[in-house]
Each structure stands twice: as structure tokens, then as C-alpha cells.
Structure 1
């Protein structure tokens, strides 16, 4: 043990020196990637806009949508199991390419029902363009990296957007039905902001999402441009489409993404993590030798698993921890599905419902009601005893042969 101690001290000193040298030699770089992440404070994140929305729409709720629009809006429509009916304005800033046909249909239905859809992106899903009869074109900025943006009703003639390699604009649209609310200018003016009547609602399309980012909101008077754009939205609830769901493919297992990703991006946390790993490995190496006396074998206690389960379940029920009980019931039910039917439960979509109904010999409507209810419960932070009882009833009905 005396020989090991000096080696340990040398390793620790080397690790600390490596951390100091790395910190001193590393130059801090700015990440200019356009993520439009509402949690990001980087130049092209949208955390400032996200924090200011409740102030701009003071008398209305601002809800963040972390799920696909198709599942979120269908759950919160008339007659379904959402706690409220989704009505108001749905905002998508950048990253609209993730929208699947089902979500696009649901967003169009949302607008057709008298609500508002606002999308700001360089390009839009082809299904939206085809439905609205619109075409977009990109023009490269050959002179410099500055674009001029103007807006109907804005006191300023225009604002400047720098670090711009070019502009996307609407090259074809219905000039009789579609109102042009804004322009961008490279060489000459292009329509970059449209108001489109759709059913009993309205769709707004805007082609410069960079204007909503932290960098531009904090620079000069560019925030006035964003305020002017949002002033066209009706005074109603806001549904802000979160960047979070875009980080993994729609059909991927979201649990595979490391929870350490953000920490490893921060230099201080990264080195703290690596140092802890080194010390942990050293501790295991130096303590691998058995030092404890052999433990006498003791006869195991009587199996009281059933009584224990009853006691724990009663404890959860008495403390009214319905959310915890619901999470456990869902976990155990999905594990039973994986074990009994060899089905992947990471994506609870229509294909999964069809395969489960076929393998279990159940009616599709019954299976769909159960799976949709489970998907909805996962999105809720607060649940009631009635919802717990309903989930238990649906699971017991499914388990009946």
C-alpha cells in the first residue's frame, strides 16, 4: 500500500496539470450554429424571445409544445382527452423540416378551425407550399453579408440583418388572396412575409428566422422588427413549438441520447467529470484486494413479496402520489408488452397499435384508446385519482383473455 500511494499522487498531479494547461491554452470560440433552441443562450438560440413571449401576450397563456403537433393538437381537440381545447396561435421558429405529413395536416386543420399558424423558416415543407399554392426561391448575397428587412406598419424604413449569405423569398403566390406584410432586399425587394387566409383562420409565413434569435434581438433596434411581426398575431393563447423534439429523429429512441451531453459541452463540467472518472477508476484498482472477512451465510428470510407490494402500493395511494403510480403502471405494462409480444415500445404510433392488436387478439379501437391515453398521460405533470383509476381499468380490460 505504501508503494501505491506515491503512484496515486503522481497520477493526480498529472491530471490536475493537464486540466490547467488545457484551460490556459484553449481559446473561447463562439458557436454560430443556427439551432433556434429556446433554451440556448448562444447567438442563434431563441431564449430571449422565449422569455419575452409571456410579456408580449400578458393576458394569455404561453404553452410550450414538446411533442409532435399531430399528437398534441389531436389530444387537445374537441371531445378528446386533453385538459383543454387548443385555440390560439401556433409558433414555429426554424426547424420546420421535422414536420411529418400527419403533423402538417393537424396544423392545417388547426388553422382551418379559426386559429393562427405562424412559421418562420428559410424553407417550408413541400406539402404546405403545395396546399397554399406558394413557391420560394433563394437569392445569394454577392456584395456583402447584409440584408435589409422592412415590415408593413413599422416606423423604421428597414432594419439590417448581418452575417447573411442570402435571402429566401416568395417567388410565386396568389397576389389577390395573399397579403404581403414584409420584404427583404438584396439588389431589389422581395416578399418575405405573407398573410394567408385559410379556412376560418390565418397562416403567416416568414422567411427570415434569424431575426428572432438572441444575437439580433440584442443588436441595435432589430427587436422592433420582431415586435412588429408578432403584433400581427391575434391576442390569444400562444403554443410555442419547442426545439427539443427536433434533436432526435422522429422514429429514434429518445432515451438513447446521453443526459451528459450538455455537461460535456461545458469545459468546467467536462473536466470535473473526467477527473471524477479517473479517481473512481483509481479507487477501484487500489481497493480491488479483498480486505473483509468472509461473511457467514445466513438463511434467507421468508418471501414476503406480495405483502411488500401491497404495502408499497397502499403507501403511494394514501399519499396521493398518483403521478408516481401512473408512471409505474405504464412502465410495468409496456415491459409486459415487450416480454409477451416481443414488440418495441419506444414509439407508440399507429403501426405499433396495429401490431399489438393483432398479436393480442384485441379490437383495434380498444387498443388505440389505451395506447393514446398512455401517450397523453406521459405529457401531464399533474394527474388525478380519476385518471389513475381510468388507466387501471383500461389495462385490466386489456389483460383479460
Structure 2
């Protein structure tokens, strides 16, 4: 043990030096990915809005839904198996494209019973479009990256949203029965916030989710625009749709992610955790060496093909080589399209989307999301883990449907 002491001291010194060097040299680049994650402090996360919900809905209970609305709401209806009956406002900020038809049906039943649904996203599920008889179009911002947002029947002043290449707006809706609550303006005004009566309740659809992000809530007086939007919603309990969906069955209990992930995002906590783990391992190694002789373990021969593939993929992932992994996933996906459907993938345009939708029998809107995201990734030089996860989600959705 005495002979091993200098080695332990050297290892400790190297670990401390490495931690200090990384802490000094590490520079963070701003991630502008629009995640709409309620736990993210990045510019386009919604952690500030999520934390302010109790102030926006005073004296109301705020529940976070970590799984599909279909399972949650069906569990929390009368005669269900949840711990309460679902009577509230269901809020979804961005990422509403994950909603399957059964979840849309359950949300519509929820509204029909006298509740409220609020969705802020660039587009909605096709089933929701068909049910409410609405169409959404897009106008390109050819002058600058600024669009103006305004609210009707409110004293809230108009605000601007920058870093905006264009605006989505309601191109078709029932102007007699639906009420326009807000507009966006690039060259001319167009409706981007409407109230839709449905059964005994109401559906509020909003087309500028970036207004709810951390960046815009902290910019000038833009938070007042969000306060104005919320003022249209009834004073009621709130179900906030979480960015992360964890299926827990039909008992209505939400299973939350471990908070350890947050600690690992903080540089000081991360290195404290890693240092404690390494010291623990070193203690066990040297303590075991002192007490007993090493027993040689003879392992049987194994088929190492799968292990080799896992090693290579882990090497790319652990070195944070997201660009390489993203390029390979896109290459392998397009190769499979060429092989299975005999399509030319050199130009991924609307004609290609039409042909692929025709040959696969899948919805054109779903394929367009995937192809647009691939084209967007090809235009970027810097990538993050969220980009890889989102691309993988789109490709898996393509094969599962």
C-alpha cells in the first residue's frame, strides 16, 4: 500500500489539473435549436415561462404531464383510474407534432366536456386541421428577420419577434364562428391567434411559439405579449405538456426524469461527481489488491461483431462528433430510399417528397417534416446532441408509421 501511495497522489494531481484546464479553456457556444424544453435554459427553451406558470395562474394547481395525453386524460376522466378528474386548461408549447390521432381524440373529448386546450406551434396535427377545418400558410420575410405581433381586445402593446425568417398564419378558417385574437405582420396583417369554440369548451391556436421562449421573455417588454395571450385563457388549473414524454401506463402518475442530468450540465458539479466516482473506484481497486490476490477470469470466446459496432458508435458519440453521426444517418437513410423505392435522392425538393409519399403511402406532411429537417441540417456547420436526437426521432417515425 505504501508503494502505491505516490501513484495515487500523481493520479489525483492529474485529475485536478485536467479539471482546472477544462474549466478554464471550455467555451460554450450558443445553441439556437428550438427545443421548447421546459427544463432548458438555452435561448429557445421555455424554462422561464414554465417557472412563471404559478404566477400567471394564481391560486391554481399546475400539473406537468410527462406522458401522452391519450393515456393521461383517459386515466383522469370520471370512472378512470387517476388520482383526480381532468378539468383544466391543457397547454402545449411547440413540438405538438408528436400527437397521434388517439391523443387528438382525447384532447377534443377533454375540450368538448367544457375544458380548454391551448397550443402554440408553427403547425398542428393533420387530424386537428381536418376536424377544425383550418389551413395554415407561410409568408417569407424577404426584408429582414423581424415580424410584428399584436393582440386584439387587449391593452397589450405590439411587440417584435426578431430572428424570424417568416410567419405562419391561418390561411383558411371559419371567420363567422371562430374569433381572431391576434395578428402577425411582415408586409401585411394576417391572423396567427384564434379562438375555436368546440362543444362546451374552447380551443386556442397560436402560431408563434418563439414568443414563449427564454430569449424573448427576457428581451425588452416582450413578456407582456405572453401575459396578454394568457389573459384570454380561463382562470383554471393547468396541465403543462412536458417536452419529455415518459409512458407510465394508465394510472395517471407522472414519472419524472432524474435530476442528476441537471447537475451534470453544471461544470463544477460534474467534475465534483466524476472526481468522487474516480476516487471511489481507486479506493476499491487498491483496497481489494491489498486484501486478496487477483483471480484470473477466463472468458469464453464471444462473437464480437455487435460489440465492435457498439464500440465504434460509442466512440463517435462520446467524442461529441455529432456532425459525423448525423451525416452517416442521413447517408444510410437516403441509401435505403434509393434501394427500396428506386428514387433519385440527389435533389430533396417538393417533387421528391411527392414521389416518396406516393411510393410509401405515407402522409406527405410527415415526409415533408423529415426532408425539411434533413435539408436544414445540411445547411448547418455546427451540430448539437439535440439535432442528432431529433433527426433519429424523425427517421424512426418514418419507418414506424
Both structures adopt the same fold (TM-score exceeding 0.5): yes
Name which of structure 1's ranges 172-181 and 40-49 shifts more when overlaid on structure 2.
40-49
**Residues 66 and 247, structure 2, Cα contact 8 Å, conserved in 1:** no
Q: 2:22 is matched with which residue?
A: 22
Aligned counterpart, 1:179: 179
In structure 1, the residue corresponding to 2:136 is in which secondary structure? strand
Task: Tell me how far 1:194 sits from its aligned partner.
Answer: 1.0
| 1:126 corresponds to | 126
d(CA) in 2 for partners of 1:215 and 1:190? 24
Q: Does 1:213 align with 2:213?
A: yes
Measure the CA separation in 2 of the matches of 1:54 and 1:94: 20
Does structure 2 retain, via aligned residues, the 8 Å contact 1:178–1:197?
A: yes
Aligned to 2:289, what secondary structure does the other structure show? Answer: coil
1:123 deviates by: 1.5
- Worse overlay, 135-144 or 257-266: 257-266
CA contact (8 A) 1:101 1:127 kept: yes
Aligned with 1:91: secondary structure?
A: strand
Alignment of 1:291-370 (within 5 A): 291=291
> Which position in structure 1 is the counterpart of 2:233?
233
5+ residue gaps, structure 2, are: 249-253, 294-401
d(CA) in 2 for partners of 1:194, 1:139: 18
Structure 1 residue 258: Cα displacement: 7.8
Return the alpha-carbon distance in structure 2 between the equivalents of residues 64 and 274 of structure 1: 31
Contact 2:91–2:238 (8 Å) recurs in 1 = yes
> 2:4: which partner in 1?
4
Tell me, yes or no, if the aligned pair for 1:150 and 1:157 is still in contact at 8 Å.
yes
* Cα offsets for 1:292-350 (capped at 9, x unmatched): 79xxxxxxxxxxxxxxxxxxxxxxxxxxxxxxxxxxxxxxxxxxxxxxxxxxxxxxxxx
Aligned match of 2:72:
72
Question: After TM superposition, where is structure 1 displaced by more than 6 Å over at least 4 residues in a row?
Answer: none
Separation in 2, partners of 1:50, 1:160: 22
2:91 is the counterpart of 1:91: yes
Match of 2:61 in 1: 61
What RMSD over aligned residues (CA atoms) do the two structures have, in Å?
2.7
Q: Which has the higher contact order (CA 8 A, sep 6+)?
A: 2
Moved more, 159-168 or 103-112: 159-168
Aligned-residue offset at 1:154: 3.2
CA–CA distance in structure 1, aligned partners of residues 154 and 99 of structure 2: 31
Deviations 1:166-187 (A, max 9, x none): 2222122222222211111122
Instruction: Report the 3-state secondary structure (helix = DSSP H, G, I; strand = E; otherwise coil) of the residue aligned with 1:41.
Output: coil
Shift in CA distance, 227/247, structure 1 to aligned 2, threshold 3 Å: farther
Tell me the CA shift for residue 134 of structure 1: 1.1
Q: Which residue of 2 aligns with 1:193?
A: 193
Q: Is 1:98–1:246's contact at 8 Å kept on the other side of the alignment? A: no
Output the TM-score relative to the length of structure 1: 0.65
Q: Do the aligned partners of 1:116 and 1:202 also contact (CA within 8 Å) in 2?
A: yes
Question: Which TM-score applies when normalising by structure 2?
Answer: 0.65
Q: Secondary structure of 2:193's partner?
A: strand
1:107 is displaced (CA, Å) by 0.2
Partner of 1:279: 279
d(CA) in 2 for partners of 1:177, 1:56: 28
Q: Secondary structure at the match of 1:272?
A: helix
Q: Give distance in 2, aligned partners of 1:286 and 1:83.
A: 51
Residue 148 of structure 1 is matched in structure 2 by 148
Partner of 1:348: none
**CA shift in 2, pair 1:24/1:128, >3 Å:** same
- Structure showing greater radius of gyration is 1
Shift of 1:104: 0.8
User: Aligned equivalents of 1:21 and 1:30: distance in 2?
Assistant: 21
Q: What are the superposed Cα offsets for residues 209-254 of structure 1, whole Å, 9 maximum, x if unpaired?
A: 1111222222221121111111111222222222231799xxxxx9
**More deviation, 60-69/185-194:** 60-69
Q: Distance in 1 between matches of 2:84 and 2:259?
A: 32
State the alpha-carbon separation in 2 of the partners of residues 278 and 197 from structure 1: 59
The verdict on how the C-alpha distance between 1:285 and 1:54 changes in structure 2, with shifts beyond 3 A counting, is closer
Instruction: Report the alpha carbon displacement of residue 290 of structure 1 after superposing the two structures with TM.
Output: 4.6
Indicate the residue corresponding to 1:49 in structure 2: 49
Deviation at 1:159, TM superposition (A): 0.3
Aligned to 1:107: 107
SS of the residue aligned with 1:30? Answer: coil
Number of aligned residue pairs: give it.
287
Match of 1:166 in 2: 166
CA contact (8 A) 1:154 1:225 kept: no
